[in-house]
Structure formats: structure tokens, C-alpha cells
């Protein structure tokens, strides 16, 4: 059977998928399209020059191994870079980047021409209003130096650094950082802004919460200065909006932000957003706005693992000039798992208690403070725990629950696990699906609707839900 570009690339992806993390695969390899196979030369289409440069810098060795496995030692790779034209309906530009003779998988460095932007007429220009110095509202203490990197945040941090180095000039526009409470979304947004201000002092950077943005818009409507409000935001070079999920249900604010976003994006300005939900999970946000959130990169901040929690605590102690015994640091890291804010809160409480009462740091003091934090924090059940409880209830192992089998009792157990994961955790639908058998967010959404329907129509199923609710509530 004749091999095609698509069949070769599918085999390459199968190998690549087994060797990198799912989130990295989804971000950097799913958007690639196989275009042409000519002998040992495979042409792939990538969305931008930045995308190609990132692949070359971070994944060229992996690509080399994958292609050599499929096409032999003489394998060559050609990038077909698509330059999207946001100012007309013409087809995107195509720039082919050939492989080098010296290194079959090392593309030559070339300058990809970018279409020159034509001047857009701005209907909101106010005569005599000059670009004035705008206070960025950034907190310099939230920077990359004290944002500890780990598996849970590596993609978001790397994307943030890329944006800081080249604001408005990467594929990550907008950059949407999402995750649960206290995982570092605001810190990372500030860090990007601080880094941009340091590298590009002439750029106008503004950080603002979505609530403040909404209130400013309401005030502008009341005072009949809506156009001034819009024009002000159109002057910003880098706009960071925190907790964008709070725009939900606010049609007027969403409409004005839609127009501001379009203007900034079309003029090569950078937009950075944070949210406690992925775009797919946001309720009451207009589809046209959600579609723009998906133009760039949505990067999730997850709960830090044990090693990262240790690093965060050590970093905090070092910054504060405090020396704390290793066993106490380890105890705190093992017992405070939910978020970074609580980790730092325990350290602050430890320092305060030891200082005010003139006591040494002891394991007993750590236990007392940790116990208070745990008691005062509503416990969040983990997805792993939910799967274990549901599996045990239906007398099966977790592997069976996560399997591809379509047996009715297994499917129902899997759907119940997804239902409780959505109800009892802050995880996104995509994250729930990934952890329960590598399903997608649509499968989780369907599972939740099925459980709701069966609970109302099937007495036995309703009993399952009631029994499991008791077992999972503590």
C-alpha cells in the first residue's frame, strides 16, 4: 500500500504521544497538519513562525527519531508556515522552510515575511487625546524569579516567558491561564507583565481585575463617556485581565470587551487572561468571545506535586531569610496539598507564632497550625479518591473503570465517577476526562447529563447516587 503524508504522520504522532505529556502533545502536535510526502521528505503545516521555532528548539530530537523510524536515515522535514491575515478574507500566506543538507531534520533559519498591516480607521479617536503614561498596577513581588516551576505549571510558565520575550509576536495571543484557587494564576500574570515592563519600558502594560473593568464600563455608561473608555483600552500594548470568568452574564461588558479585544489583537497587541475555568467550562459567555479566547493558548495550572510543594516552601523561607528544619518543611508539604496560598499561609503562621511566643520551630507547632488550616478549609475530594470509592462500590478495580469496555455496569460506574468529579472538584471537564480513562470533555459532559436524567427516572440509579454521596462526603 502506497504511503501518504497523513499515514506517515499518524505513525509519527503515535510514537510522539507516548514520549511527551498529554498537555504538551495537545498544544504542539495536534494543530500540525501533514501536507505532502515526496520520497523521504515530509511537509507539515504549522500555524506560525513562532510555532515552528518552538518545535525546533524543544522537540527536534523527538521529531528526528519519529521520522527516521518511518522514513529511514535520509528523512527530511519541511515546515509549511501559515501566516494568518487578520485584515482581509484572502488565503493565509504559505512560507516553506526547507530542511538543511547538513542536518536532515534541522530546518534552515529563515525570515518569514509578515504581511504589512494597513492602517485601521479608529472610530473612537478623541481629538487632542495623547497617549499618556499609564500606571501598570503590577506587583513587582510577583515575578518569574519567585514563581517556582514544576510539572503542574511548566507549560503555562514557558508560554508566559515566551510572551514576555515577544509580546504580541507569538501564537499565544491571547494567553489564557486557568486553574483552581491559589495555584498562581495572578502571580504568573503579574510576572509576565513585570518581565515585559523590564524588557520593553516603552510599552504600555495594564493589569486589571474583570470586576474593576466592569465597574469602569458601568461608570462610563452612566457618565456618557463610553467612547473614552474604549479608546483608553485601545491604547494599551499589553492588557492583563484577571478572573475573566466574572464577565459571565454581563452582556454589555462582554460586548465592549469584544471590540477592545479585536482592536488590540488586530494591531499586534498582547492580551493575557486568567480564569478559574477552561473556556469550554465557562457559562454565560458569548460564543464569539469564547472563540477568541481559543485563538491563542489555554494553559492550565494544576495542583503542585510533593516535590514542587517542597520547592515552593524552600523558596518562601529563603526569600524571608528564615531557616526551618527539613523535617518540618516535609511535614507541611505532605499535609497541605490543595494550593500554594495555603502552603505560604502555614509558613507565615509558623514564623508569627515562633516570633511572638519566642518559640523554636517544632514539629508539634507545625502540626497545630496545619490542623487549623485543614479544619478551616473545605476539603476537596480528589479525582483519584472518587474513582477508588466508585470502583469499590461496584466491586471492580480502577483499571476496569477506566477501560474502553462498553459493558453497562462499567459505563454507569465511569459516568458516576465523572459526575462526582465535576460536582466535588474544581477540575476542568478536560482534566476530569483525561484522568478517567483519557476521555475528552464532551464525554464528561454527556456523562453528567446522563446521571442527572437517570437519577430522576431510575430508582436503583438514584440509590447509587445517594450511597456514593454519603461515602464521598466526610
Residues making up the annotated binding site are 182, 184-186
Contact between 137 and 117 under an 8 Å Cβ cutoff? The reply is no
- Residues 294, 430: contact at Cβ < 8 Å? no
Contact indicator for 254, 247 with CB cutoff of 8 Å: yes
CA distance 340 to 184: 7
Reference 396, options 381, 412, 380; nearest CA is 412
What is the phi/psi pair of residue 413, to 5°? Answer: -60, -45
| SS3 per-residue string spanning 88-133 | CCCCCEEEEECECCCCCCCECCCCCCCCCCCCCCCCCCCCCCCCCC
DSSP character at residue 42: E
Contacts of 327-331 spanning 24+ positions with Cβ under 8 A: 327/363, 328/361, 328/362, 328/363, 328/366, 331/363, 331/366, 331/367, 331/370
Q: CB within 8 A of 21, min separation 6: which ones? A: 151
Q: Vertex 390, ends 389 and 392: CA angle to 5°?
A: 65
Numbered residues of the known binding site for ATP? 182, 184-186
Candidates 288, 374, 291; CA nearest to 366 is: 374
Amino acid at each position: 500500500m502506497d504511503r501518504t503524508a497523513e499515514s506517515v504522520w499518524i505513525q509519527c504522532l503515535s510514537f510522539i504521544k507516548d514520549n511527551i505529556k498529554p498537555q504538551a502533545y495537545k498544544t504542539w502536535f495536534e494543530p500540525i497538519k501533514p501536507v505532502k510526502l515526496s520520497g523521504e521528505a515530509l511537509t507539515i503545516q504549522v500555524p506560525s513562525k513562532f510555532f515552528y521555532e518552538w518545535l525546533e528548539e524543544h522537540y527536534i530530537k523527538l521529531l528526528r527519531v519519529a521520522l527516521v523510524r518511518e522514513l529511514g536515515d535520509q528523512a527530511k522535514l519541511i515546515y509549511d508556515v501559515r501566516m494568518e491575515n487578520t485584515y482581509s478574507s484572502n488565503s493565509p500566506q504559505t512560507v516553506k522552510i526547507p530542511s538543511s543538507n547538513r542536518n536532515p531534520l534541522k530546518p534552515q533559519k529563515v525570515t518569514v515575511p509578515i504581511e504589512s498591516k494597513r492602517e485601521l480607521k479608529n472610530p473612537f479617536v478623541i481629538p487632542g487625546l495623547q497617549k499618556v503614561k499609564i500606571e501598570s498596577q503590577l506587583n513587582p513581588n510577583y515575578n518569574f524569579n519567585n514563581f517556582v516551576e514544576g510539572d503542574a505549571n511548566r507549560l503555562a510558565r514557558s508560554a508566559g516567558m515566551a510572551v514576555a520575550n515577544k509580546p504580541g509576536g507569538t501564537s499565544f495571543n491571547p494567553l489564557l491561564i486557568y486553574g483552581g484557587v491559589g495555584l498562581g494564576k495572578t502571580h504568573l500574570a503579574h510576572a509576565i507583565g513585570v518581565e515585559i515592563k523590564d524588557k520593553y519600558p516603552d510599552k504600555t502594560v495594564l493589569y486589571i481585575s474583570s470586576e474593576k473593568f466592569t465597574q469602569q464600563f458601568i461608570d462610563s455608561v452612566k457618565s456618557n463617556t463610553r467612547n473614552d473608555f474604549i479608546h483608553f483600552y485601545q491604547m494599551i500594548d499589553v492588557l492583563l485581565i484577571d478572573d475573566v470568568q466574572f464577565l459571565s452574564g454581563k452582556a454589555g461588558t462582554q460586548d465592549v470587551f469584544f471590540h477592545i479585544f479585536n482592536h488590540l489583537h488586530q494591531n499586534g497587541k498582547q492580551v493575557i487572561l486568567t480564569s478559574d475555568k477552561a473556556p469550554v467550562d465557562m457559562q454565560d459567555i458569548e460564543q464569539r468571545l469564547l472563540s477568541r479566547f481559543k485563538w491563542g493558548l489555554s494553559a492550565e495550572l494544576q495542583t503542585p506535586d510533593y516535590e514542587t510543594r517542597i520547592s515552593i516552601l524552600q523558596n518562601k523561607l529563603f526569600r524571608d531569610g528564615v531557616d526551618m528544619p527539613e523535617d518540618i518543611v516535609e511535614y507541611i508539604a505532605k499535609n497541605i496539598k490543595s494550593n500554594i496560598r495555603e502552603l505560604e499561609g502555614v509558613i507565615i503562621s509558623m514564623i508569627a507564632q515562633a516570633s511572638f511566643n519566642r518559640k523554636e520551630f517544632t514539629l508539634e507547632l507545625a502540626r497545630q497550625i496545619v490542623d487549623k488550616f485543614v479544619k478551616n478549609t473545605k476539603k476537596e475530594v480528589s479525582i483519584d479518591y472518587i474513582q477508588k470509592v466508585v470502583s469499590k462500590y461496584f466491586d471492580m478495580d480502577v483499571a476496569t473503570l477506566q477501560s474502553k469496555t462498553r459493558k453497562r455496569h462499567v459505563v454507569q460506574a465511569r459516568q458516576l465517577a465523572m459526575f462526582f468529579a465535576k460536582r466535588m472538584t474544581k477540575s476542568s471537564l478536560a482534566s476530569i476526562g483525561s484522568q478517567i480513562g483519557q476521555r475528552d470533555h464532551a464525554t464528561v459532559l454527556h456523562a453528567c447529563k446522563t446521571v442527572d436524567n437517570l437519577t430522576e427516572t431510575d430508582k436503583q440509579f438514584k440509590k447509587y447516587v445517594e450511597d456514593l454521596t454519603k461515602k464521598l462526603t466526610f
